[in-house]
Structure 1
Amino acid sequence: MRVHDKNDGHVCSNRVGRDSRWSSQNAYVTREPLGVFALITPWNFPIVIPAWKTAAALAYGNTVVLKPSEVTPGAACLLAQAIQAAQIPVGAFNLLLGTGANLGSALVTHPKVVGISFTGSVATGGKIALEAISHQKRLQLEMGGKNPLVVLDDAQVDVAVECAIDSAFLYTGQRCTASSRVIVTPGIYEKFLQALIERTEMLRVGDALDPKTQVGPIVNEAQLNKNLFYIDLAAQEGGTIYGGSRGSASGYFLKPCIVTELDNTSRVCREEIFGPVTSVIRAHDYEDALAIANDTAYGLASGICTTSLKHASHFKRHAKSGLVSVNMSTSGVDFHVPFGGRKGSSYGPREQGQSAVEFFTVVKTAYVRGGNGDVD
């Protein structure tokens, strides 16, 4: 319920009095709810993403129709039960189960739906955008990423390795903020790569319910095959592969994979894989590393490992991404700060925190003349 608490704190005031140039009247600026919002969410965070979208929409007075991924409907049902237990008004929250192919278009184009908040693939987001914009709907898209982690010569190797492990392989790499590109300068490249390979080989792959497991399964067979396709493609493109073998024949397990000796023009370094696969790319120096980091169609998250305040500050300003991390994983955000990216990663107002008000409300300006009292 922390997500709902954070949103509740931003709704305490939605009316602001303004001075008017006419002395006989007052001006009021208010934010008002819009109506019914369709929330379309992915399988990789089946509770958190539906929760933070729903919390903001309801907190600002709207009605919600949540369409979760057909891959993980059970988690959405648990969320619905929790919301029902909170005794919100009947009809304010609605859960719609089914496939995107069957429900997506009808939901997006429904005349009573005023806006759509979507998290998922770029391909699906593009289709939703075409339909939503043609019907003059509000639109918020959170899509893919090809997130870079830059490691400079002055970085602490152990810190950089742990950042790379957490960024690339935590949650089996099935996060839009996962770092699938690690860009390393020459002075630390060999030492960092060797330490990263050794650390990756130590990761325990297995049942996600086992407390000893560090890397769980791929979500389904289709996603596993996609991961394996890109590993094979990396080899065909001339890359050197470390790891990446099937973890077990009895499940959708994949050992974390490191790809080296490819540059940023390869498909493996440009296309989102969405699994425990990362490429380690050579850079000549900091300026080259920054250029490689920004050379992508996406712009969700980026990170840098360095002990230089100068380089950290410069990277924070010049990284073309919505989220920037210094000496820490590219993944993980607080609920009360804006979430979103640039370029092909996002479209529309940011999610979460005070930024959510821009999407889930509309501004109204009203003038009132006469009387000495305030007008609600």
Structure 2
Amino acid sequence: MNLKQQQYINGKWVGAISGNTRDIINPFNQEVIATVPESDESDAKAAIAAARAAFDKGEWSSAPAIERGAIVRNIAELIERDKEELARLESLDTGKTVEESRGDMDDIAGVFRYYADLADKDVEELMDSPVPNSISKVVREPVGVCGQITPWNYPLLQASWKLAPALATGNTLIMKPSEITPLTTIKVFELMEEAGVPAGVANLVLGAGHTVGAELSSNIDVDLISFTGGMVTGKKIMQAASVNVKKLALELGGKNPNIIFADADFETAVDQALNGVFFHAGQICSAGTRLIVEESIHDDFVNALVERVEKFKLGSGFDEDTQMGPLISAEHLAKVEKYVETGIEEGATLAVGGSRPEEPELKDGFFYLPTIFTDCTTAMSIVQDEAFGPVITVEKFRTEEEALKLANDSIYGLAGGVWTNDTVKAQRCVAKMRMGTVWINDFNVYFPHAPWGGYKQSGIGRELGKLGIEEYTETKHIFQNLKPKPINWF
């Protein structure tokens, strides 16, 4: 494997100050695929100091925006060049299929290219001034030093959502990827160095959230924290960030409803309902894990789901026939198992799955069978809590009003879907669904131009789109009097 397997601080590839390391394993068979630094607060402080010095020096923030954009575009081109290496590395690290990882790399290059194009756009706006002989304008300036913490499920995709807008707008940054899936992030920092990102502007620290992440959140020299991950950690970050009232951008997951009306295209809705959950083994913050199905088609819909699920092919991400790979770790597998046990205890009906597979070739991996629960209600914790695994809960409704009430009965509000051939009904539903993204007759579609984020406890702020770039800027109003004169105060 052609990786430096180190962290990147102030333009240098270095190990942890403590000398500690961590083994990175393949979730398909638990083989060690890399050994990387296991850093702590000392390394985080060194990276923060480098980012602070680089920002205060001002060369990157004051560089012409078109030049920053060119470097960000270079990163996109290098990702495209090394697409196959990155895709295989991502699949080794996460267990997802290579086909999915290749699609991720296309999306990632697209994110960098999108923000490269935005780097010199809308940075200044002239305003009408009520004062004669004056100029009033609004400018956007970089926030400063940005701490960025990414999750394990989409390591490089989530990193791109943070890196690209931060660099394009002239910030400096410290990125902390998940300690269990850092490999593609290391690789992209190599590409960023090759693309011409100056020393100190982008820093990479490898370590655990309770050490490195906590330091980024509480350090007064960090001006913004962007975090994607769990709600419990997000709340801790909010508390820590209050030390200097940092800007916050938090995406904290979801428990996403997928409403199926009887007038929807049946076969397409079944197919998309499966894809909406079992893609990447359900380890997706926007997974449509809450199916809310109209009563008249409920039984047929569940039977169709079960029939297809029983034919799923589990296996290595490098096997072209694999439809679903393993979960990320033994710890996460145990969490999903406990979740399923809870569903059974709460009285939900286990329609299919609910155990580890028995095939000998899967015994060393963190595999769990795709699972479907029926007879579910919103009073059940399995309907309210985010499993982050290959588990669907099915609820039943009779009226449109009931469907919407069920869909909104959640502390989360990240995403949701509506399946119907009645366009007017679809628009009525969308208007009443309290979520940051709602899909009509589709699910889990995203692209760089559209903002991403949630209502309620799914987070604060937005990534992607123009709103994503605004997260990394401060707004300043500048007023200039062209003909000042005394006002005769005395």
TM-score (norm 1): 0.96
- Aligned residue in 2 for 1:305: 419
Shift of 1:215: 0.6
Shift of 1:56: 0.4
State the distance in 2 between where 1:135 and 1:20 align.
34
State the distance in 1 between where 2:344 and 2:482 align.
77
Which of the numbers 459, 468, 478 marks the counterpart of 1:346? 459
Which residues of structure 2 form unaligned runs of 5+? 1-75, 77-109, 484-490
Amino acid at match of 1:22: V
Shifted more, 358-367 versus 286-295: the winner is 358-367
Alignment of 1:231-250 (within 5 A): 231-241=340-350, 242-247=352-357, 248-250=362-364
**8 Å contact from structure 2 (residues 220, 243) kept in 1:** no
Which residues of structure 1 form unaligned runs of 5+? 372-376
Q: Percent identity?
A: 37
Q: Does 1:98 align with 2:207?
A: yes
Q: Does 1:269 align with 2:383?
A: yes
Shifted more, 308-317 versus 119-128: the winner is 308-317
Q: Runs of at least 4 residues of structure 1 off by over 3 A?
A: none
State the distance in 1 between where 2:118 and 2:430 align.
27
Q: Does 1:162 align with 2:271?
A: yes
Q: Summarize deviations over 1:71-106 as a string: whole Å, max 9, x none.
A: 111121011111111111211100011111121221
Amino acid at match of 2:118: H
SS in 2 for 1:245: coil
Shift of 1:370: 3.0
- Aligned residue in 2 for 1:27: 136
**8 Å contact from structure 1 (residues 33, 61) kept in 2:** yes
State the distance in 2 between where 1:269 and 1:178 align.
13
SS in 2 for 1:23: coil
Shift of 1:165: 0.5
The higher relative CO (CA closer than 8 Å, separation ≥ 6) is in: 1
- Aligned residue in 1 for 2:312: 203
State the distance in 2 between where 1:294 and 1:111 align.
38
Q: Does 1:18 align with 2:127?
A: yes
Amino acid at match of 1:271: D
Q: Summarize deviations over 1:48-88 as a string: whole Å, max 9, x none.
A: 11111010011000001000000111121011111111111
Shifted more, 89-98 versus 244-253: the winner is 244-253
SS in 2 for 1:254: coil
State the distance in 2 between where 1:366 and 1:310 align.
46
- Aligned residue in 2 for 1:374: none
Alignment of 1:121-132 (within 5 A): 121-132=230-241
- Aligned residue in 2 for 1:139: 248
Alignment of 1:276-355 (within 5 A): 276-329=390-443, 331-347=444-460, 349-355=461-467
SS in 2 for 1:167: helix
Shift of 1:274: 0.3
TM-score (norm 2): 0.74
Aligned Cα root-mean-square deviation (Å): 1.2
Aligned pair count? 369
Q: Does 1:71 align with 2:180?
A: yes
SS in 2 for 1:29: strand
Shift of 1:249: 2.1
Q: Does 1:370 align with 2:482?
A: yes
Q: Summarize deviations over 1:105-144 as a string: whole Å, max 9, x none.
A: 2111212110000000000000001111242100110012
SS in 2 for 1:179: coil
- Aligned residue in 2 for 1:258: 372
**8 Å contact from structure 1 (residues 7, 336) kept in 2:** no
State the distance in 2 between where 1:315 and 1:154 align.
14
